Amino acid sequence: MKDFIPVNEPLLKGNEKKYILQCIDSNWISSEGNFVQSFEKKFAKRIGKKYGIAVTNGTSAIDVAVESLGIGSGDEVILPTFTIISCILQIVRSGATPVLVDADPSTWSMNVDQVESKITNRTKAIMAVHIYGLPVDMDPLIKLCKKYKIKLIEDAAEMIGQKYKGKNCGSFGDISTFSFYSNKHITTGEGGMVLTNNKILAEKILSLRNLCFQKKKRFVHNSLGWNLRMTNLQASIGVAQLEQLDKFVKKKRWIGSYYNKLFSDMNEIVLPLKKTNYASNIYWVYGLLLKKSSNLNVKKLIDKLSKNGIGSRPFFCPLHMQPVLKKFFPRKNNYPVAERLYKYGLYLPSGLNLNEKKIKKVSKIFRKIIKK
């Protein structure tokens, strides 16, 4: 469809082309080029961490974070059920046990009040996953990690540029992970980053990223790693995108505020929370909840929007409802908030290429479908 408005479209109007051409002209297009280290250093500095390790995507960033902490059989990791499946993959593959908590009904991020009751002597880490636009309330988790001497993994994939109490999201974890997929605040097409202040962990992650090659015996391996190297071409785009992050964050907040204004009189939907006492919404995506009383169906609504040239997505299917994870979470486990978010939630076009005309079109079509 010619005039289709996708759910996301990145903005590539800075130095992206210039830096890519520098890679091509220099012939440094692999992971050995200068842009990789430059991106790692600049991104780590921006967030407030000592070490940055660029990887192939956000999922692999989580994988190496879990592996670097030595999480394995007999260990438990606490994480939210309302998140993408990437967060649980390496926990399960390592033989550890995932322990879930429900979502907070207001912010949609993990409910930190449920965490302490889930901690046992087997708990190795808590994985805090910031969701959609408002971060997890981090202070209670930091206190719990200190109290019980457990590690904090902070997944800030959806929060690049967001702040918690004035400090960058991604700066709180023992290990923090990021994604640079095309729908993120800054993109490298595919790509991810792991940040830490711990030199030993950083060296371990560097090794895991590069097949665990030894420094003196390159093709002799004492451990199993992955090939997760980011290319110089990708990193060059990342550097250009990072230069524009403040502008991107401002644009995201404008998009969210404009949608809020256009939908403020609609009784059939619940708008995203604008702010908490620790953060203002960054609107990574513009999410909405249909009210139970509206008798509307998310799947049918998404189909109708698509037929009218509007891209949209349902909210995450909770981890405890995933067919592939059924053996870990029998149905007696109950996470009512996450289940409600999945049943009634969707998000509208939220990409940085949106303009006023497109948002008005989305609003007009959305309202028309809802009212009918």
What's the rounded mean pLDDT across residues 201-225? Answer: 91
What ranges do the domains of the chain cover? Answer: 16-242, 245-371
Q: Is 154 exposed, middle or buried (0-12, 13-18, 19+ CB in 10 A)?
A: buried
Average pLDDT, the chain: 96
Residue 235 is given by DSSP the state H
Task: Count how many Cα atoms sit within 13 Å of the Cα of residue 341 in the half-sphere of its side chain.
Answer: 28
Does domain 245-371 match CATH 3.40.1260.10?
A: no
> How many whole angstroms separate alpha carbon 312 and alpha carbon 309?
10
> How many whole angstroms separate alpha carbon 225 and alpha carbon 208?
4
Q: What angle do CA 367, 370, 372 make, to 5 degrees?
A: 105
Q: Cβ(274)–Cβ(133) under 8 Å?
A: no
pLDDT digits (tens, 9 = 90+) for 176-193: 999 999 999 999 999 999
> How many whole angstroms separate alpha carbon 186 and alpha carbon 277?
26
What's the rounded mean pLDDT across residues 30-59? Answer: 97
Residue 273 is given by DSSP the state P
Helix (H, G, I), strand (E, B) or coil at 300: helix
Report residue 182: phi and psi, to 5°.
-65, -15
Burial 118-147 (b: 16+ CB within 10 A, else e): ebeeebbbbbbbbbbbbbbbbeebeebbee
What's the rounded mean pLDDT across residues 240-260? Answer: 98
CATH number assigned to the domain covering 16-242: 3.40.640.10
What's the rounded mean pLDDT across residues 225-232? Answer: 96
Partnered with residue 78 across adjacent β-strands are 99, 126
* Helices 199-209 + 58-68 axis angle, to 10: 120
pLDDT the model gives residue 334: 87
Reply yes or no on whether the pLDDT at 297 is more than 70. yes
- 155 CA to centre of own chain: 6
pLDDT digits (tens, 9 = 90+) for 311-322: 999 999 999 999
> How many whole angstroms separate alpha carbon 315 and alpha carbon 51?
33
> For the chain, how big is the Rg over CA atoms in Å?
21
pLDDT the model gives residue 1: 63
> How many whole angstroms separate alpha carbon 72 and alpha carbon 235?
32
